Amino acid sequence: MQLQTVRPNIVQAIRAYRVEDLMQAAQDAGQHFLYANLAAADTKQDVLEMIASAFLFPAHFGKNLDALYDCMTDLVHKSGSQPGFVVVLDQLPDHARFDREAREQLLDVFREAADFWGERKIPFRCFYSFQ
């Protein structure tokens, strides 16, 4: 798989892509690969904690959507030049404790991060799947 076939700043369902192929494509392109398996998450708090752990966010991460956005954008941007990102949110919860509204709010943060990086001409591709 080559990343050039996927729009550079997008948040989309993983569909026919395989995690292993996305990881290899990111490596081949010299981009960051960020993966979070969220199968064990039940609530928004669980999802945020698992993302923070998987993405190695700093200990002071506020575990809310604003802090998630800050970690995905400003914190990384201030650390220097970035080659691009491939993000996989695998097995997002799909039940009453993490309902459609909560999922959309979470994905909106990643859409906003894609816009942030797009304005800086840096690819940010986020893929997600549901449980």
For 65-106, the pLDDT digits (tens) are: 999 999 999 878 778 889 999 999 999 998 888 999 999 999
Average pLDDT, the chain: 93
Domain 7-130 has CATH 3.30.370.10: yes
Please report, for the chain, the start and end positions of each structural domain, with discontinuous segments joined by +: 7-130
From 43-52, 92-101, 114-123, the region with the lowest mean pLDDT: 92-101
User: Given this model, what pLDDT does residue 1 score?
Assistant: 65
> Rg (Cα) of the chain, in Å, rounded?
14
Residue 67 and residue 57: Cα distance in Å, rounded? Answer: 10
Question: CA torsion angle for 10, 113, 97, 19 (degrees, to 10)?
Answer: 50
The SS3 of residue 90 is strand
